[in-house]
């Protein structure tokens, strides 16, 4: 690991170098890897089209950089540690050599079932080692994976299959999640009634519950690998070939397929992993995310494995069978780096200190936070009670589109400041702009967060619709990538992320587009129109508050409210279910017909003391009705 930053001075020097000579900076890091053909140019780019090509013309296979590159030194080192949902079941440990063998076998099984380079494969699986094996096997044969979080509904799954025209689904019979057992295969069967492109479904036996296996289409995982060789010749890929598509919500329409390509993503996830977490060779690292999200891709699977780390995967939930489960696991495996979400911290904070006191937590060296702003109270609680005041807390800001951590303390290297993501990683050039796109220089400024120069794991396109990528990220402010987040640079020059400035709600660290939830609500035959906003939630960060206009139904409001909640759950999944549904006779609209969300947000937040100017409303009288309906009079 030649490229681990070792001191504050080193950070400053590297940062300056990364800005003045970005190609040299990234070229040197990329030399850590094995390339089948070297690049002709480190970077070719413009943000107008946009086009970002990193390590241009080079050829490689990402998995060769985990396996062939590392096996001479890491064959017997544990690559994946797996803790099951039930603490009394057996855990699993796979060495790099074993993981390589499992990857090759499954890669061969996918090929034998018709998957070729470039084909799209959906992974809809629980948090088991096979989910990581599936991702790596796709990368091995040049197939493009798209992991769909297994909590999404059948229609959300069908939408994603249809958008990327996937050929195969990898799934399980059922999933264990805390005390629940989720019939995943049945969800896949339902989704496939709305799709036409899936040829094969490979099913891992996990819960043992009975499932329908469609002849000619569905194969058990164990049968698929039974006769496969444990050797596999890696497909030689272009640097800019697609590694994966990951769907994420935006402020408009359907979720978009964020595309990441191979070489840049490989270099950046490795580089950011070793630097942010300061991983050392014998450490055990644990990220509690799910592989269905970008955090699971970059910091459970790719980043750690490219760095030869031991990465822990956990199948269950933080409170099962007891609220000390996380802390129990940390002691059990002597976890050194622990990376979780503020929502989990806030949810566990509610149980007080008793569940923690049984455990020493003395293996911990670094603790991390991701996915949403961490409030100061949660920051201090986490730092004092879990990090025992001695572990640096890395508050890592990044996005599905950035592929890797962009703004974060480097553990023990750059200073910590509560609730601040603090400073950019070397190679990252953040800019704060006002509404017109003017750069706000100096300290004590607040505005919209943009990035002015590409980094290797930047989004390449939105699958099947390049213009959407251009419009969403590269058109708001000319010549810059726009993140959708607000940010403040404080008097010390440290960055504090303020949250989304668009119509995206962050619920428990999960991104939900308001338009997506509204579309689901509007599917109800009695709903005429709806509007969805976020409101501050003590545990989830933000909750979803929906307003719906219904036609002349005789149903009581309470019935409509629960039907609407159930419908959203069915169409998108439990994470999108509104916390509150308020039935209204109209929505506050401007003369041009635009819903004035500002007012709806205020009501949802129970803060109606200053509603601002409502004189431009077409129907000002509705405001009072809504306030009354919300019980805020
Ligand atoms: O609003 C920011 C918030 O999460 C958004 C990205 O969501 P997603 O693509 O699902 O990726 C989450 C995991 C990287 C961002 O636009 N966000 C993420 N990390 C932080 C954060 N907000 C504040 N502080 C963070 N550390």
Atom nearest to 408 CA in ligand 1: 26
Atom nearest to 511 CA in ligand 1: 10
* In a shared domain, residues 258 and 228: no
Q: Stretch 569-585: mean pLDDT, rounded?
A: 95
Q: What domain count does the chain have?
A: 3
Number of residues in the chain: 633
Distance 370 CA to ligand 1 centre (A): 7
Residue 439 lies in a domain: yes
Q: Compute the distance between CA of residue 486 and CA of residue 502 in angstroms, rounded to an integer.
A: 9
Cβ count near 359 (within 10 Å): 16
Contacts 24+ apart (CB under 8 A), 570-574: 570/153, 570/155, 571/153, 571/155, 571/156, 571/520, 571/523, 572/152, 572/153, 572/155, 572/156, 572/512, 572/516, 572/517, 572/520, 573/149, 573/151, 573/152, 573/153, 573/156, 574/151
Atom nearest to 374 CA in ligand 1: 24
pLDDT of residue 612: 80
* Residue nearest atom 6 in ligand 1 by C-alpha distance: 399
Contacts 24+ apart (CB under 8 A), 162-166: 162/194, 162/195, 162/197, 163/247, 163/254, 163/257, 163/463, 163/464, 164/120, 164/122, 164/245, 164/257, 164/463, 164/464, 165/120, 165/197, 166/119, 166/120, 166/121, 166/122, 166/197, 166/198
* In a shared domain, residues 20 and 70: no
Residue 3 lies in a domain: no
Q: Compute the distance between CA of residue 381 and CA of residue 365 in angstroms, rounded to an integer.
A: 16
Q: Stretch 215-239: mean pLDDT, rounded?
A: 98
Distance 219 CA to ligand 1 centre (A): 37
Asked if residues 503 and 597 have their Cβ atoms less than 8 Å apart, the reply is yes
What is the residue-averaged pLDDT of the chain?
96
* In a shared domain, residues 423 and 529: no
Tokens in use for 401?
A: 């589109």
- Ligand 1-lining residues (CB < 6 angstroms): 248, 294-295, 370-373, 395-400, 421, 483-485, 497, 499-500, 506, 511
SS3 assignment for 154-166: HHHHHHHHHHHCC
* In a shared domain, residues 280 and 154: no
Confidence class for position 554, pLDDT limits 50, 70, 90? confident
Atom nearest to 504 CA in ligand 1: 1
Distance 533 CA to ligand 1 centre (A): 18
* In a shared domain, residues 183 and 264: no
Asked if residues 136 and 147 have their Cβ atoms less than 8 Å apart, the reply is no
Q: Which run of H or of E encompasses 172?
A: strand 168-172
Tokens in use for 179?
A: 């005390």
pLDDT of residue 553: 67
Residue 542 lies in a domain: yes
Residue whose CB lies within 8 A of the most ligand 1 atoms, among 246, 290, 297, 398, for a mutation test: 398
* Residue nearest atom 5 in ligand 1 by C-alpha distance: 399
282 lies in which domain range? Answer: 8-61+244-498
Distance 349 CA to ligand 1 centre (A): 21
Confidence class for position 220, pLDDT limits 50, 70, 90? very high
Distance 495 CA to ligand 1 centre (A): 14
Asked if pLDDT for residue 1 goes beyond 70, the answer is: no
* Residue nearest atom 4 in ligand 1 by C-alpha distance: 371
Question: Nearest-CA neighbor of 344 among 364, 314, 365?
Answer: 314
* Residue nearest atom 23 in ligand 1 by C-alpha distance: 373
Q: Compute the distance between CA of residue 423 and CA of residue 442 in angstroms, rounded to an integer.
A: 14
* In a shared domain, residues 193 and 255: no
* In a shared domain, residues 74 and 166: yes
- For residue 514, the domain's CATH number is 3.30.300.30
Decide which of 251 and 238 is more confident. Answer: 238
Tokens in use for 330?
A: 């940390």
DSSP character at residue 579: S
Residue whose CB lies within 8 A of the most ligand 1 atoms, among 372, 378, 404, for a mutation test: 372
* Residue nearest atom 26 in ligand 1 by C-alpha distance: 397
* Residue nearest atom 21 in ligand 1 by C-alpha distance: 372
- For residue 329, the domain's CATH number is 3.40.50.12780
Burial 492-523 (b: 16+ CB within 10 A, else e): eebbbbebbbbbbbbbbbbbbbbbbbbbbbee
Distance 353 CA to ligand 1 centre (A): 28
Distance 399 CA to ligand 1 centre (A): 5
The predicted-structure confidence for 128-146, as pLDDT tens digits, reads as follows 999 999 999 999 999 999 9
Looking at 212, 235, 258, the residue that finishes a domain is: 235
Distance 369 CA to ligand 1 centre (A): 10
Confidence class for position 556, pLDDT limits 50, 70, 90? confident
Looking at 465, 498, 531, the residue that finishes a domain is: 498
Distance 435 CA to ligand 1 centre (A): 21
Q: Stretch 381-385: mean pLDDT, rounded?
A: 98
Distance 397 CA to ligand 1 centre (A): 6
pLDDT of residue 495: 98
Ranges of beta strands (E only) in 480-614 are 481-489, 495-500, 504-507, 510-513, 527-537, 541-550, 580-584
Confidence class for position 438, pLDDT limits 50, 70, 90? very high
* Residue nearest atom 7 in ligand 1 by C-alpha distance: 399
Distance 372 CA to ligand 1 centre (A): 5
Residue whose CB lies within 8 A of the most ligand 1 atoms, among 151, 344, 367, 371, for a mutation test: 371
* In a shared domain, residues 306 and 448: yes
Residue 141 lies in a domain: yes
pLDDT of residue 470: 97
| Alpha helices in 142-194, H assignment, sequence order | 154-164, 184-192
Asked if residues 235 and 141 have their Cβ atoms less than 8 Å apart, the reply is yes
Confidence class for position 633, pLDDT limits 50, 70, 90? confident
Residue whose CB lies within 8 A of the most ligand 1 atoms, among 511, 540, 541, for a mutation test: 511
Q: For residue 411, what are the contacts with CB-CB under 8 A and spacing of at least 6?
A: 276, 277, 278, 337, 365, 366, 391, 392, 394
* Residue nearest atom 12 in ligand 1 by C-alpha distance: 371
The predicted-structure confidence for 466-505, as pLDDT tens digits, reads as follows 999 999 999 999 999 999 999 999 999 999 999 999 999 9
Half-sphere exposure of 584 (CA within 13 A, CB side): 27
The predicted-structure confidence for 385-435, as pLDDT tens digits, reads as follows 999 999 999 999 999 999 999 999 999 999 999 999 999 999 999 999 999
Residue 1 lies in a domain: no
The predicted-structure confidence for 246-303, as pLDDT tens digits, reads as follows 999 987 778 999 999 999 999 999 999 999 999 999 999 999 999 999 999 999 999 9
Asked if residues 122 and 161 have their Cβ atoms less than 8 Å apart, the reply is yes
* Residue nearest atom 18 in ligand 1 by C-alpha distance: 371
Distance 72 CA to ligand 1 centre (A): 37
pLDDT of residue 492: 94
Ranges of beta strands (E only) in 206-320 are 218-220, 237-238, 242-248, 256-261, 284-287, 310-314
pLDDT of residue 616: 84
Distance 271 CA to ligand 1 centre (A): 19
* In a shared domain, residues 98 and 165: yes
Cβ count near 449 (within 10 Å): 26
* Residue nearest atom 3 in ligand 1 by C-alpha distance: 372
Residue 90 lies in a domain: yes
Distance 509 CA to ligand 1 centre (A): 7
Looking at 235, 254, 278, the residue that finishes a domain is: 235
Q: For residue 331, what are the contacts with CB-CB under 8 A and spacing of at least 6?
A: 359, 360, 361, 363
* In a shared domain, residues 39 and 124: no
Residue 353 backbone class (left: φ over 0; alpha: ψ -120 to 50; beta: rest): alpha
Residue 618 lies in a domain: yes
- For residue 159, the domain's CATH number is 3.40.50.980
The predicted-structure confidence for 334-376, as pLDDT tens digits, reads as follows 999 999 999 999 999 999 999 999 999 999 999 999 999 999 9
Distance 478 CA to ligand 1 centre (A): 23
β-strands 120-124, 168-172: how paired? parallel
Residue 578: strand, helix, or coil: coil
* In a shared domain, residues 98 and 14: no
Q: Compute the distance between CA of residue 278 and CA of residue 269 in angstroms, rounded to an integer.
A: 13
Asked if residues 91 and 328 have their Cβ atoms less than 8 Å apart, the reply is no
* Residue nearest atom 15 in ligand 1 by C-alpha distance: 399
Distance 13 CA to ligand 1 centre (A): 28
Q: For residue 11, what are the contacts with CB-CB under 8 A and spacing of at least 6?
A: 5, 410, 413, 414, 423, 426
Atom nearest to 398 CA in ligand 1: 14
* In a shared domain, residues 253 and 229: no
Q: Stretch 161-172: mean pLDDT, rounded?
A: 98
Residue 2 lies in a domain: no
């Amino acid at each position: 690991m030649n490229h681990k930053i070792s001191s504050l001075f080193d950070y400053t020097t590297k940062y300056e170098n990364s800005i003045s000579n970005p190609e040299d900076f990234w070229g040197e890091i990329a030399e850590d890897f094995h390339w089948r053909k070297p690049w002709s140019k480190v970077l070719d780019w413009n943000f107008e089209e946009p086009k970002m090509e990193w390590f241009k013309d080079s050829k490689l296979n990402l998995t060769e950089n985990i396996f062939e590159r590392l096996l001479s030194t890491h064959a017997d080192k544990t690559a994946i540690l797996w803790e099951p949902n039930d603490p009394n079941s057996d855990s699993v440990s796979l060495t790099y050599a074993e993981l390589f063998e499992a990857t090759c076998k499954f890669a061969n099984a996918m090929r034998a079932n018709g998957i070729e380079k470039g084909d799209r494969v959906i992974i809809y699986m629980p948090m088991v080692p096979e989910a990581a094996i599936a991702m790596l096997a796709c990368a091995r044969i040049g197939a493009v994976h798209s992991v769909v979080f297994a909590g999404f509904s059948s229609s959300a799954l069908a939408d994603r299959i249809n958008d990327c025209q996937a050929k195969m689904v990898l799934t399980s019979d059922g999933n264990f999640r805390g005390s629940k057992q989720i019939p995943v295969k049945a969800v896949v069967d339902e989704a496939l009634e709305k799709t036409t492109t899936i040829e094969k479904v490979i099913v891992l036996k996990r819960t043992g519950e009975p499932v329908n296996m469609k002849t000619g289409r569905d194969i058990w995982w164990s049968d698929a690998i039974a006769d496969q060789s444990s050797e596999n010749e890696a497909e030689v890929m272009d640097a800019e070939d697609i590694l994966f598509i990951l769907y994420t919500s935006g402020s408009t329409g359907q979720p978009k397929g964020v595309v990441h390509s191979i070489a840049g993503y490989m270099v950046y996830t490795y580089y950011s992993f070793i630097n942010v977490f300061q991983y050392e060779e014998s450490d055990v690292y644990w990220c509690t995310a799910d592989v269905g999200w970008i955090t699971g891709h970059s910091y459970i699977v790719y980043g750690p494995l490219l760095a030869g780390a031991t990465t822990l995967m956990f199948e269950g939930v933080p409170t099962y069978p007891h609220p000390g489960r996380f802390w129990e696991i940390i002691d059990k495996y002597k976890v050194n780096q622990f990376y979780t979400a503020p929502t989990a911290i806030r949810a566990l904070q509610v149980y007080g200190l008793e569940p923690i006191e049984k455990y020493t937590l003395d293996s911990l060296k670094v603790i991390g936070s991701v996915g949403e702003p961490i409030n100061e109270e949660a920051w201090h609680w986490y730092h004092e009670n879990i990090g025992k005041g001695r572990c640096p807390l890395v508050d890592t800001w990044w996005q599905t589109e950035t592929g890797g951590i962009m703004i974060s303390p480097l553990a023990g290297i750059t200073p910590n400041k509560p609730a601040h993501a603090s400073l950019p990683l070397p190679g990252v050039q953040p800019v704060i702009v006002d509404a017109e796109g003017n750069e706000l220089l100096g300290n004590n400024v607040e505005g919209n967060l943009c990035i002015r120069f590409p980094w290797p794991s930047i989004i390449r396109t939105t699958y099947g619709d390049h213009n959407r990528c251009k419009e969403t990220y590269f058109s708001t402010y000319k010549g810059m990538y726009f993140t959708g987040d607000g940010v403040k640079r404080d008097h010390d020059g440290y960055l504090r992320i303020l949250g989304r400035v668009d119509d995206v709600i962050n619920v428990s660290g999960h991104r939900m587009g308001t338009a997506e939830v509204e579309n689901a609500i509007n599917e109800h035959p009695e709903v005429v129109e709806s509007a969805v906003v976020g409101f501050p939630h003590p545990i989830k960060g933000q909750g979803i508050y929906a307003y719906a206009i219904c036609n002349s139904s005789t149903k009581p409001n309470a019935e409509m409210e629960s039907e609407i909640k159930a419908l959203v759950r069915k169409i998108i999944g439990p994470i999108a279910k509104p916390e509150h549904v308020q039935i209204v006779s109209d929505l506050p609209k401007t003369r041009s017909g635009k819903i004035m969300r500002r007012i709806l947000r205020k009501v949802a937040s129970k803060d109606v003391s200053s509603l601002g100017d409502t004189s431009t409303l077409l129907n000002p009288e509705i405001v009072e009705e809504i306030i009354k309906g919300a019980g805020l009079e």
